[in-house]
Structure 1
Amino acid sequence: MLSGSTAAFAQKKYSDGATDTEIKIGHTGPYSGPASAYGQIGKTIEAYWKSVNEAGGINGRKINFITLDDGYSPPKMVELVRRLVEQDKVLCTFNTLGTPTNTAIHKYMNVKKVPMLYVATGASKWGDPKHFPWTMGFQPDYHTEGKIYAKHLLANVKDPKIAVLMQNDDYGKDYYEGFKEGLGKDADKIVKHVTYEVTDPTVDSQVIQLKDSGANAFFNIATPKAAAQAIRKAADLGWKPAQYLNNVSASVGSVMKPAGFENSQGIVTAQYLMDPTDKQWENNDDFKAWKAWMGKWMPGANLADVNHVFGYAVSNLMHETLKKCGDNLTRENVMKQAANYQKYRLPMLIPGITISTSATDYYPIQSVKLAQFKGETWDLFGDIMSAEGS
């Protein structure tokens, strides 16, 4: 009897999208449209799986990575993700990008019981295993990041009069609510709050309104294109507030350089990944491995763009999760392994920041470090600050 039970134990288990030879993963990203700066993440992920396949795959299986352009449009995302789940029959989706877009597929994926893993958005709603057990975030949540900026601002800006620019959607609101919570009884120090639509060609008129409010502090809650425009416009107007920039637009290559380094001095952001322009990482083993990998798999890419670091780091986490599944490639087991990390050291995270998850904690990264823009790079300062998580 023993040999029979041993055989049963070693039996391979598969859901849609997994076989003896392949694992099918679905992805959509904004390769076109207003958030196309983030398209670099998808390109990095695609190159990552090619490198994994060349090295023999995961437990002998090749990754079939299907990536589609959603243009940062929620209706388009719904259509493409339905195709990935119902026609392509992927095992899971991975690192689909954007708060409004992921919100559009959130219920669908959970009704279908298809893992929606390590989504590329820090909205706090991705960490709700009780109501959405098939969805997990990756980066620190926006709400907590907003609180951290508020506390720093109150401690460092004398008699603050605060102006806020916000993308008018769930992503913007999440940051703003956290920021207001961090201000607490000082929330009335916000003298002007203006929004923009992701389809707006510029945010110039909004920045003019913010400057005219007499504010001496500015929280820039915007995706890369609008964030860079706002920094540049503030400088053009001769407005010099203390500036806070959300982490999702802190790329030196895709935001700070286009905004103008001279216009970006002193801006504060939060970081959890090693910034590729920060010289302190040059002799770090993770960083050297990333740079060598980029040289081989993404020759000619802009190494100053932290989106390449993001794509590489999150792919490493997905790689490890699938490796832990062994031959049990069911959707249930994929989620089980994703929710089972204890202080895991992921390549390219700032030293001291690790990955921890559990069945009740779907926030993999819960720490950040503040950084200030100096010269042509970010300068980290202070202690690692931890998020509230669940």
Structure 2
Amino acid sequence: MYHFVRRAMAVTTAMAVVAGLAACGGSSSSSGGSVPGVTSTEIIVGTHTPLTGPAAAGYSEISPATKAYFDYVNSKGGVYGRKITFKIEDDAYDPATTQQKVRKLVLQDKVFAILSGLGTPTHTGVLDFLNTNKVPDLFVASGSLSWNQPKKYPYTFGYNPDYTIEGKTFGNYIKANFADKKVCTFGQHDDFGADGLKGVQDVLGASGVTHSETYDVTNTNVAPAIGALKAAGCQVTIAFTVPGFTALALGTAAQLGFKTQWMVSNVGADYATLGSQLKDATGPLLDGMLSTAYLPAPTDTTNPWIALFLKLDQQYDNNAAFDGNVEYGFAVGYLFVQALLAAGKNLTRQGIIAAVEKNGFAGPGLSPLRFSATDHSGFGGLQMAKVEGGKQEVFGPLYTTDDASGPITESSPSQPAPPADGIPS
């Protein structure tokens, strides 16, 4: 009898605990089903990002800007009456830390989705975990080809144009403008550098790249690599670098007397971010630097999207110094709200995946997003950008291509105006 009573009490206690968790855990959607991170009044979303560490320069501004956009949307009633709670975890650009932080977000904080997780080496380590747990892994802040594997990773979607597309764009520009020059690359020692080099060689051929060097984010001594590029006689050097290492490369090159035409990946070329590190040397070192862009120049205040984000930055992001990273944060926040709206009132994880694959999104991007059931890669086009007279401006046609051997096509970018209130309908 004693054992029966004790078991009965245990069952009753367990039921009470479950009931209590259901009441306060916040995981029921308006459809009556249990959806992690979703209640009738809230959507909990998480991210990992380097607020500190070797990639913090510039990148630490992205998530606060995304949160600022959500704060604005929340002030207008949220999305279908739900306000967005954005949990930002600092991983210091360390893959081991990323795994700890993402597990916390999913298993403890019970987030609905991971949004804009930043970094190639960091996010690569959580792909399997997120997809095994069927957590929407949306708009990764990196251009690795890894994000575009719908069959293997159906819950993961990219955002940035992938680095192979960017490499092909650089190669195409070099072919037209620097055909007789020795071309070299300096890239991060992971998919970032490898995918970029692949794209360059897709256009110029393997022999079209005279010399390649890599760096590791744990070692700030880039002098040997830059010295090797100088010794190889590199006349055009393409850098697939995060901002901190772009600054290190350009500064070290100046110290070593290495003069080359720098072409820098869009993820490491933001003028204001580099200027904050190069200080008085900014003008001389950055003048003439080429890069790419898929969002409007953050200094183009005539662009209605920039005007909108500037206004929201002042009101909801503590008037942070506006640059390409802040713009990126607002842009990805806008896209996520579009995705939530497209997923409908009865929000589910499968529902938002279906909504993103259906696509039809329009926003500040210079090229269309390529999302579909068979393509999770994000933006597919880039324009060139150049620093002249202390300004970084976008110029020329929009180049679109694939991450294989497809041709590069040119078109004129088209961009819709933002909604009057800055919130997608």
Q: Is TM more than 0.5 here? A: yes
The one-letter amino acid of 1:310's match is Y
- What is the distance in 2 between the residues matched to 1:327 and 1:14? 14
C-alpha contact 1:99 1:171 (8 A) present in aligned 2: yes
Contact map agreement 1:14 1:329 (CA 8 A) in 2: no
Please show how residues 214-363 of structure 1 align to structure 2 within 5 Å.
Answer: 214-256=233-275, 258-259=277-278, 260-277=282-299, 281-303=300-322, 305-342=323-360, 344-346=361-363, 348-350=364-366, 353-363=367-377
The one of 38, 57, 62 aligned to 1:18 = 38
Q: How far 1:256 sits from its partner (Å)? A: 4.6
Q: Secondary structure at the match of 1:28?
A: strand
Q: 2:135 — aligned with what?
A: 114
2:48/2:118 contact within 8 Å kept: yes
CA distance in 1, matches of 2:51, 2:199: 29
Q: Give 1:226 deviation, angstroms.
A: 0.8
Q: Is residue 387 of structure 1 aligned with residue 401 of structure 2?
A: yes
Residues 50-91 of structure 1: CA deviation (Å, up to 9, x unaligned): 222222111101112111111111111111111111111111
Q: Secondary structure of the residue that 1:219 maps to in structure 2? A: strand
User: Which residue identity does 1:170 align to in structure 2?
Assistant: D
- Equivalent residue in structure 1 for 2:389, among 350, 375, 388: 375
Cα distance between partner residues in 2 of 1:389 and 1:340: 21
- Offset from partner CA, 1:220-251 (integer Å, 9 cap, x none): 11111110121222233333222210110121
Alignment of 1:86-125 (within 5 A): 86-125=107-146
For 2:379 and 2:371, locate their aligned partners in 1 and report how far apart those are by CA, in whole Å: 9
Asked if 1:54 is matched to 2:75, the reply is yes
Q: CA 1:389–1:72 in structure 2 vs 1: closer, same or farther (change >3 Å)?
A: same
How far does residue 349 in structure 1 lie from its aligned partner after superposition?
2.3
Percent identity over the alignment is 33
Residue-by-residue CA offset, 1:90-148 (whole Å, 9 max, x unaligned): 11110000011111001111111111000101111211112110100011111110111
Distance 2:277 2:52 in 1: 18
Q: Provide the residue aligned with 1:31 in structure 2.
A: 51
Name the count of aligned residue pairs.
371
Matched to 1:337, the amino acid is A
CA contact (8 A) 1:13 1:329 kept: no
Q: Give, in whole Å, the separation in 2 of the partners of 1:256 and 1:317.
A: 29
8 Å CA contact 1:13–1:328 kept in 2: the answer is no
Give 1:110's aligned amino acid: N
Higher alpha-carbon deviation: 370-379 or 139-148: 370-379
**Deviation per residue, 1:150-175 (Å, 9 max, x gap):** 12112222432222211111221111
Q: Distance in 2 between matches of 1:83 and 1:17?
A: 13
The 1:168–1:356 alpha-carbon spacing in structure 2 relative to 1, beyond 3 Å, is: closer
One of 203, 213, 220 as aligned partner of 1:194: 213
Q: Which runs of 5+ in 1 are unaligned?
A: 1-9
Q: C-alpha distance in 1, partners of 2:32/2:371?
A: 26
Q: 4+ runs of 1 displaced by more than 3 Å? A: 10-14, 256-259
**2:60 match: secondary structure:** helix
> Which amino acid counterpart does residue 74 of structure 2 have in structure 1?
N
CA distance in 2, matches of 1:95, 1:306: 15
Give the CA deviation at 1:299. 3.0
Compute the RMSD of aligned alpha carbons. 1.7
Moved more, 92-101 or 206-215: 206-215
- Structure number, greater radius of gyration: 2
2:202 counterpart of 1:181? yes
Specify the alignment match of 2:26 in structure 1. none
Give distance in 1, aligned partners of 2:338 and 2:69: 13
Name the aligned partner's letter for residue 306 of structure 1: G
**Secondary structure class of the residue paired with 2:70:** helix
- Which of 142-151 and 190-199 deviates more? 190-199
